Amino acid sequence: MRGIWAAALNPFAEDLSFDEAGFRRNIRHWVDDLGIEGLFICGKQGEFFSMSLEERKRNLEVAVEECAGRAGTMMSVSDQNFDTVLELARHAQDVGADYIVVHAPVLHFVHDRDALLYEYYKAISEAVDIGIAMWSHPDSGYLMSPELCTRIADLPNVVAIKYSVPREMYARLTELAGDRIQVSTASEEEWFDNIVELGWRLYLCSSPPYQLQTANDRRMHDYTQLAFAGRIDEARAIRDSLDPVRQAIKSTKPGGKPQAHGKYWQELLGQTGGRVRFPMQELTEAEKSATRAAFAACGLRL
């Protein structure tokens, strides 16, 4: 794994069915026009929690078909039901995905977690041969420590972690286990510094790769490649030039409607956005109007 990977939002049609055609169009745009090197499929951005098991499986299949060796595929098989995790993991392996990612589970009433979590990832590692990425995020109700992640990194097919934690924690894990696994975090605003200061070569991942860029304006791609090549001042200048776009998104995104805002921003970019499923809420007309105005003024070249 290398370069920029993106976490896919899932488009739902007016009747709330999975818009497979729209999803295929988005993937082609992300890979062919934006140069995104890998896709993270059916995660929290993609509202996996609102999808049936069969819909999730189909989501994985479509992504593998469309990427077809042109981009990597990482399938979120996260679920509170461990049997579902294994069923999705085996399905991802069977249909030709490159990797799976597994969110640390919510552990009700459990306070001494490390031994349990090690056995959790060990059981997945023993059940499938596909490469596995850990995923630690505050949504679990706790954060996996760098020391625990280092122990899990010794499992034979654990290859990466999406580590949504404070910088001192992921810097520590990079120091402890960066020779065995790819350590990354979802913050695009920290990506440049992590290339320069921590030697990272993988952005794993969120939606900025296709929200901050167009076919005619690939500044995230450009600053990444310049930073990889050691042209730090040039890369920093391009990174900083995206601040108006970042601010336009940040200032108009309602705290309770991240997926709906992301999808509407996609539509403004000419991508397929679509609806969100309950309990997620749609943007109001006033929220859409504010987003349109910020989008028009942010300086992205369409």
pLDDT tens digits along 113-148: 999 999 999 999 999 999 999 999 999 999 999 999
Confidence band (pLDDT; 50, 70, 90) for 109? Answer: very high
Tokens 């954060």 -> residue: 143
**Sign, Cα dihedral of 180, 185, 186, 190:** negative
* Per-residue pLDDT tens digits for 172-213: 999 999 999 999 999 999 999 999 999 999 999 999 999 999
Q: State how far Cα 204 lies from the chain centre.
A: 6
Is 290 a member of any domain? no
Is 193 a member of any domain? yes
Confidence band (pLDDT; 50, 70, 90) for 153? Answer: very high
Q: In whole angstroms, what is the distance from residue 5 CA to residue 1 CA?
A: 9
> Bridge-partner residues for 74, per DSSP?
40, 99
* CATH code (residue 55): 3.20.20.70
Is 163 a member of any domain? yes
**Sheet containing strand 72-76, strands side by side:** 182-184, 158-163, 131-136, 99-103, 72-76, 38-41, 3-7, 202-206
* Per-residue pLDDT tens digits for 18-74: 999 999 999 999 999 999 999 999 999 999 999 999 999 999 999 999 999 999 999
Is 271 a member of any domain? no
Confidence band (pLDDT; 50, 70, 90) for 214? Answer: very high
> Which three-class secondary structure state does DSSP give residue 136?
strand
Average pLDDT over residues 234-253: 99
Contact at 8 Å (CB) between 76 and 84? no
| Residue positions counted in the chain | 302
Give pairs for 68-72: CB < 8 Å, separation 24+. Answer: 70/31, 70/32, 71/30, 71/31, 71/36, 71/37, 71/38, 71/39, 72/1, 72/5, 72/37, 72/38, 72/39, 72/98, 72/99
168: buried, middle or exposed (CB in 10 Å: 19+, 13-18, 0-12)? exposed
Please report the pLDDT score of residue 275 as a whole number: 99
Is 250 a member of any domain? no
Q: In whole angstroms, what is the distance from residue 148 CA to residue 217 CA?
A: 40
> ω into residue 279 within 30 of 0, thus cis?
yes
Is 141 a member of any domain? yes
Give Cβ neighbours of residue 222 (< 8 Å, ≥ 6 apart).
Answer: 235, 238
> ω into residue 67 within 30 of 0, thus cis?
no
Tokens 């504010």 -> residue: 290
Q: What is the mean pLDDT of the chain?
A: 99
Q: In whole angstroms, what is the distance from residue 38 CA to residue 36 CA?
A: 6
Average pLDDT over residues 154-159: 98
Please report the pLDDT score of residue 53 as a whole number: 98
Is 43 a member of any domain? yes
Residues of the chain with pLDDT > 90: what percent?
A: 100
Q: In whole angstroms, what is the distance from residue 250 CA to residue 222 CA?
A: 22
Number of domains in the chain: 1
Domain extent at residue 135: 3-215
Kind of pairing between the strands at 99-103 and 72-76: parallel
Is 130 a member of any domain? yes
